[in-house]
Structure 1
Amino acid sequence: MKKIGNSEFSDRRSTAADAKAALLRAYRAAQEAAEPNREAKQAERLAAAEAREARRAEREQAKRDERSRIEAETAEREAALAAAARAEADARATTDTNSTARDLRDEATRKAERDLRYANRKARRG
């Protein structure tokens, strides 16, 4: 399209200023129209943020609980292993003690039998 007429710099400048003022008025009108919704949206965002924070705190608490449960189970397992090791060591010590006593008793019996054989042999010779 062709422009009709001769536009001067001042005409262009005033037209640009009018357009800028119209945009500003439209922006302000849109802001005023959105004011009731803005507060509702802000409250909605705040509620969503609080709910998100509550869920995060709940997840962290669940993680802490799980971690403490695992630590407790590990401690129980270690205590059970230590008790089993102590029981095995006690049984081994008892077995060793019994074995030692049995060995001493058996050796004493063999010595007594040997001494009896020697005594019988001397008795037969003499």
Structure 2
Amino acid sequence: MKRAVAGVLIVLTLGAAAGLSGPAAFAADAPRGQRIANANACMGCHAVDRKLVGPSFQQIAARYKGDAQAPARLARKVKEGGSGVWGMIPMPAHQSMSDADIRAVVDWVLAGAPSK
């Protein structure tokens, strides 16, 4: 048991030394949607606050704010992939993700991708 506690302290110490705090230093504190996005390579093309290959999650939230159809539309887009909405680079399909995980990510994104 002491080893597990020491390992956590090392991770937290390294995170603090790297300038990380809160959810970035300890991923278990991150919202479920963010943890799922991290685990499914979403962050390879999207960032919370800036465009990478695809739009930022905050840009997506702003575009679909107030759209009652957005959760279903975006869940379908994540599952099936697509292109043309944000440019010519296609988003690949994520058919191996469960519908519940997709919905958690979409809900988190539409909430503005909060860190807590």
Task: Give the TM bin, normalised by the shorter chain.
Answer: under 0.3
Higher helix share: 1
- Larger-Rg structure: 1
Highest RCO, 1 vs 2 (Cα 8 Å, sep ≥ 6): 2
